[in-house]
Amino acid sequence: MQLLLVSAILVSPAEDRASDEPAPESSEASSPQPQPRSDDDWPDLSEFLDEKYGFLPIALPVTDPAVGYGAAGAVAFLSRPLGESRAGLGRPSITSVGGLGTENGTWAAAAGDLRYWLDDRIQTTVAAAYGSVNLEFFGIGKDSVLDDDPLDYNLETAAGFAQAKYRIGDTLLWIGLAYGFAATEVDFEPLPGTPGLPDFSRHTNAGGVTPTLTYDSRDNIFTPVSGTYVEAGGGIFSEALGGDDEFQRARVIAMQYIPLYPKWTLGFRGEVAASFGDEPFYLRPFITLRGAPILRYQGEEMAQIEAELRWQFWQRFSLVGFVGGGAVWNDFERFDDTQSVVTGGGGFRYELARKYGIHMGLDVAFDRDNTAIYLQIGSAWARP
């Protein structure tokens, strides 16, 4: 299911916004009127989105240090124009299909559908992914013997996910229930006698249900300028639900967007996660900060936080700075149980569609061992 998560993030649209003007006020009773496009002679895609709102092409490079350089592409079909969205409600249903490939042989294909029913009373999500991911295993603990000589391994995964959420009364609280299943083939031979390697089988099925509670007051899932997103969930995985192992997972993720007058936007994202029981090593929580390779820092427990400040300094151009830190730890007596990483970097954005506040640009991120380049269509924090 990590492959499904990674694929969904890489092929789903996520836009970021920094505007000279504050967002217009709106209510649940009516949709806000989009701000008129400024005729400033800069290239702008607002009119294209107005006319072609049912079809949104997406193309992004993949630059994660764990899998190398590559490309991801997708097509998303929207049920209504982006401009009809308002804080927490009125969002379009989205159906998308896409895939990715990288220089180290990693590839994946994914399809999904996010849909709203009964006047934003019910939200459903279904998704499926299949792919092969080539990674490196660095062992367990801070001073693993594999730190300087990691083991190459491959995860070939077929995964599916289905979720339904119900909005409580007239609030922005959603209660949900999800089911996920993944069949994974793990392909590498651990070195005999090497300490710190997790126990695993070559073929593993994981199936489980996850109840969730979500509060979402973001003004738009594509272009959040203000608002809060908080989601807490706890997963139960067992043989009775289609898996081979008994384990549990818990996670809380929070994001806050703060418009700072007149040209600054501040954002925060924090996350804590934990796993319990006999989970496969590749399903343990891992750090997902810009600059940190996917699945590089894993543990039974994980905590991370990232802050981003954006300054729209001239016309449609913005500068972005970000810094983050995370830690993972395990309950093993034989090993140093904590790993930590600090990341940071900067980038720029161009306001590609002024009516909708969609920005596009480039981020360069660092940790102590890696430098990574990310092409961003909007925010780096994608969340439907």
- Of 317, 332, 327, 362, nearest in space to 43 by CA: 317
Domain membership of residue 264 (yes or no) is yes
Domain assignment of residue 322, given as a range: 2-377
Measured distance CA(345)–CA(376) in Å, rounded = 13
Q: What is the pLDDT of residue 10?
A: 34
Pairing of strands 227-237, 56-62: unpaired
Please identify which residue in the block is written with the tokens 């993030």: 9
Q: In the 3-class helix/strand/coil scheme, how is 227-257 assigned residue by residue?
A: EEEEEEEEEEECHHHCCCCCEEEEEEEEEEE
Q: Under 8 Å CB-to-CB from 282, ≥6 apart: which residues?
A: 2, 155, 184, 186, 295
The predicted pLDDT at position 2 comes to 42
Nearest of 289, 243, 286, 1 to residue 131 by alpha carbon: 1
What's residue 273's pLDDT? Answer: 96
The token pair at 341 is 């990483």
d(CA 154, CA 197) in angstroms, rounded, equals 15
pLDDT for the residue 210: 98
Q: How many domains, the chain?
A: 1
Q: How far apart are CA 312 and CA 318, in angstroms?
A: 4
Q: Three-class SS of residue 91? A: coil
CA 99 to CA 10: how far, in whole Å? 9
| DSSP 8-class letter at 298 | B
Q: Please report whether residue 383 resides in a domain.
A: no
User: Would residue 382 count as lying in a domain?
Assistant: no
Does the residue 113 lie in any domain?
yes
In the DSSP assignment, the letter for residue 4 is H
3-state secondary structure of 203: strand
Distance, in Å, from the CA atom of 346 to the CA atom of 364, rounded to the nearest integer, reads: 6
What CATH number does residue 90 fall under? Answer: 2.40.160.50
Q: Nearest Cα to 320, choosing from 253, 380, 367? A: 380
Q: Is residue 32 part of a domain?
A: yes
- Token digits of residue 102: 């990288």
Which two tokens mark 322? 């970000």
Q: Count Cβ atoms below 10 Å from residue 26 Cβ, excluding itself.
A: 16
Give domain status of residue 384, yes or no. no
Tokens of 301: 């427990």
In a domain, 184, yes or no: yes
The phi, psi pair for 328, rounded to 5°, reads -130, 150
Residue-wise pLDDT for 99-116, tens only, equals: 999 999 999 999 999 999
Where the chain has pLDDT below 70, the residues are 1-39, 49-54, 81-84, 139-149, 189-201, 332-336
pLDDT in tens, 193-244: 555 555 555 798 999 999 999 999 998 777 788 899 999 999 999 999 999 9
In a domain, 360, yes or no: yes
Q: What is the pLDDT of residue 23?
A: 39
Q: Would you tell me how many other CB atoms lie within 10 Å of the CB of residue 344?
A: 18
Q: Is the CB of residue 326 less than 8 Å from the CB of residue 341? A: yes
User: Please, which residues have CB within 8 angstroms of residue 335's CB and are 6 or more apart in sequence?
Assistant: 140, 141, 142, 143, 144, 195, 196
pLDDT at 342: 97
